[in-house]
Amino acid sequence: MKSRNELIDELASLCGIVFEYWDFLGIKHVTSQETKEAILKAMKFKIDTAEDILTEIIKIYDKPWLSMIEPVKVISQHDQPFRIPIHIPVEESKENSISISCLIENEQHETEVLNFYSESINILEQKWINGVRYIKLEIFDRISREIGYYNITIKCFIDSKEILGRFKLIIAPDSCYLPEYFEKENKKLWGITCNLYSIKSKRNWGCGDFTDLKVLTKWLSDLGGDFIALNPLHATLNLAPYDISPYSPTSRLFKNFIYLDILSVPDILESEEAQALIQEDTFKEELKKITTNDLIDYTSLAQLKENLLRTTFKNFYKNHFINSSVRGQAFQSYIEKEGTPLLYFALYQSIYNDIKINDWRQWDLEKQKPTDDNFKNLVEQYNDEILYHSYVQWLIDEEIKKISNTLKKTMLIGLIFDLAIGSTITGSDVWHYQDIFALNMNVGAPPDDFNPTGQDWGFPPLIPHLLKENQYELFIQTIRKTMKNAGAIRIDHALGLFRLFWIPQGKLPAEGAYVSYPSSDLLRIIALESIRNKTFVIAEDLGTVGENVYDRLQDFNMLSYKILYFERNYPDPSFKPPWAYPQKALCAVTTHDLATCRGFWLAKDIEVKKELGLYLNEERYIKHLNDRYRDKELLLKALYEQNILSDNYVELLQQIDMPKELCLAIYEYLAKAPCFLVSVSLDDILGTINQQNLPGIVEGYPCWRQKTPISLEEITSSEYFISYGQMFKRNGR
């Protein structure tokens, strides 16, 4: 018998645990046995003894035979008519009479039956398991079908004995939607990246909202921009400092009500109670306190908006929902269409608001993981609350739909939504689908040059084989809901479609390991939803990259994500010229996790890391300062070589601050690239110094809480920003 470590390695290999990876310095890291075992336990395997491990290995090998059929099969639309293997037990002692009935149901609930009989069935393979003979057969279609989702029920009759199996067939395209104007018309577009929460305006309540978004998109359209890329709008609990990050949401399926402009909600005008609440002195005092705060006060603002929304809902419930008015019917239709995911999200919110414990793992047992009966009881108990939270999501959905429809008339792309890589362990997504998450693991990133200690993002990864057993339901819902009303989506850390870095809880990122995911299936599902929604995809492909990842994403027509800071002629640190950028890409100077243009120039990011003790030693800090000075010289040289700066560009290095004209020049550098899209950070246009987020830091830095340095009214009335529109137009955008 193999040793325990050998068995661990075999099981780890079967489960997609990557045994080694190369870091940014070219150093090989080998996954320890301790980490392999921790990951296997998190995947819910029993590995206490060598016998246990061997049993788990045998289960994996035998599972396809014992299960009759895989729970889900994803195929190319060009791989048709489909041929699907099935496995059935038969008696060895006699000639078996076999007939198979295959019921295919499409999304419109139309059905078709395929029948197979003994004379047309070929045995492809056979295997004995625990004394039982299993045979492998193949069912096959007779036509090519439309892309989409099909529920297939298989009934096997073996000598009059019936065996039943069900699976989901996903027929998907080979690539994502890509507007014809890119390749056929050679369109090159530009727009802005905006953290909506950060917008400061005279009328909002201390946090950017959808009315600000309307104003901002009108301003951008007038400048000639064709898209606005937003931070994730996912739902959070708005509890500072831990539950405010848009990249660590409670749910990726639903959105944060903090972005609602409450005074624009139609129902508020009908509610005398709501109008009276707005006029109360305590309400006005709290609102003034929130709006004059230099930083965003998520908790107070959320409470203020929720109080008003609840008052408004009471009026809506009485005048519209009960009476089934046109508006009430629209809400009812939304509830029915959203179905189970909305019900679970609203129930989670209801329980949290009732007991004020924001971690479902600390709830009563019947609420932590409700059975069917308990779930029905909870739905009945919280029925009114569930309706309220559903109402809030409906308001958000309606508002985004209006904005999106308006932008279709003025912009080629419109809204670009950002999809976070995961959800917080305490949130509704993980509560609903807890069986398919590795609850004692965190997703993160290994140490690199920007984060020498690595990153722990603090949320659990999905378990690949259990995600598949769940028929990819959560993944499908997440992609579908992100694409709704979007011209495009950006998938944060798209490398996670191929592999994710798992870190055992309580361990350092350096002790983590990569785990592989069924990338072909996931990419095809994205492509299917992309084609259906006519939404194209931008894949944020930064970080430690495995083999063929870039090519695979490009094959699926996903735009690459190119950041100026990283586009170098490595090992030479000089910047790549614009013509070296790929066409099928979005290029930008920075991201929310990196220094702003001005912050980069002033080395503000380096100084902040020094203040927070993120440098392991003084030498590394000095090296980064020296590298930054070198990079500034190299960047100026690159701009000069493209005839963007004059020959006295070296004088710019002596200036204490960064001239705003230099920021414009840097974006002109990108404007000359062949990339389909150039995205300008609103923070860069405004000359913001501090970046929005410092990865791995929750306290000590105002992550996600900073407001724009000038108001929206000042932004839209300034003539300076016209220069960006003129520059992009001059460069064919």
- CATH of residue 612's domain is 3.20.20.80
**Which tens digit of pLDDT belongs to each residue from 186-203?**
999 999 999 999 999 999
| Predicted local confidence at residue 343, as pLDDT | 97
- Would residue 597 count as lying in a domain? yes
Q: For all residues of the chain together, what is the average pLDDT?
A: 94
**Among 60-69, 91-100, 690-699, which range has the highest average pLDDT?**
60-69
pLDDT tens, 452-509? 778 899 899 999 999 999 999 999 999 999 999 999 999 999 999 999 999 999 999 9
Max mean pLDDT range (94-108, 109-123, 139-153, 436-450): 139-153
The whole-angstrom separation of Cα 505 and Cα 438 is 10
Whether 369 and 450 share a structural domain = yes
Q: Which of 417, 553, 419 is nearest to 487 (CA)?
A: 417
Judgement on whether residues 546 and 420 belong to the same structural domain of the protein:
yes
Residue 147's CATH number: 2.60.40
8-state DSSP, 460 = P
In this predicted structure, the answer to whether residue 1 has a pLDDT above a threshold of 80 is: no
Same domain, 542 and 612: yes
pLDDT at site 319: 92
Query: Residue 63 has what pLDDT?
Result: 94
- Label residue 695 by pLDDT band (50, 70, 90): confident
Contact 279, 320 (CB under 8 A): no
> 70 lies in a domain?
no
pLDDT band, very low/low/confident/very high, at 697 (cuts 50, 70, 90): confident
Of 148, 172, 196, which residue constitutes the final position of a domain? Answer: 172
Span 478-490, pLDDT tens digits: 999 999 999 999 9
Same domain, 645 and 619: yes
569 and 665 assigned to the same domain: yes
pLDDT, tens digit (0-9, with 9 covering 90-100), for 42-91: 999 999 999 999 999 999 999 999 999 999 999 999 999 999 999 999 87
Query: Percent of the chain having pLDDT more than 70?
Result: 98
3-state secondary structure of 242: coil
pLDDT tens-digit series, residues 674-688:
999 999 999 999 999
Q: Are residues 123 and 235 in the same domain?
A: no
pLDDT for 93: 58
Query: In the chain, pLDDT over 90 holds for what percent of residues?
Result: 86
More confident residue, 97 or 472: 472
Does residue 229 sit in the same domain as residue 321? yes
Give bridge partners of residue 678 from the DSSP assignment.
190, 587
> Closest by alpha carbon to 72, among 167, 159, 189?
167
On whether both 507 and 525 belong to a single domain, the answer is: yes
Across residues 426-451, what is the average pLDDT?
Answer: 91
Cβ contacts of residue 111 below 8 Å, gap of 6+? Answer: 103, 104, 105
Is residue 33 located within the same domain as residue 148?
Answer: no
Please report the sign of the dihedral spanned by the C-alpha atoms of residue 286, residue 289, residue 292, residue 294.
negative
Q: In whole angstroms, give the CA distance from residue 446 to residue 429.
A: 25
> CA 270 to CA 536: how far, in whole Å?
40
Look at residues 60, 142, 152, 135 and name the one whose alpha carbon lies nearest to residue 92. 135
pTM of structure:
0.96
Phi/psi at 664 (5° precision) = -60, -40
Q: Which residue has the tokens 């793992």?
A: 361
3-class SS at 700? coil
Domain match, 606 and 678 both:
yes
Asked whether residue 73 is assigned to any structural domain, the reply reads no
Specify the 3-state DSSP secondary structure of 326. Answer: helix
Let me know if residue 501 belongs to a domain: yes
Mean pLDDT, rounded, for 619-638: 95
Write out the residue range of the structural domain in which residue 19 sits.
4-65
Nearest to 216 by CA among 411, 397, 488: 411
* pLDDT recorded at residue 450: 66
CA distances (Å), origin 95, targets 122, 159, 288, 482: 14, 9, 84, 53
pLDDT at 183: 85
Distances (CA, A) of 613 to 241, 365, 453, 510, 583: 19, 41, 11, 18, 40
Residues 216 and 242 in one domain: yes
Q: How many domains does the chain have?
A: 3
Residues 625 and 669 in one domain: yes
Residue 24 is predicted with a pLDDT of: 67
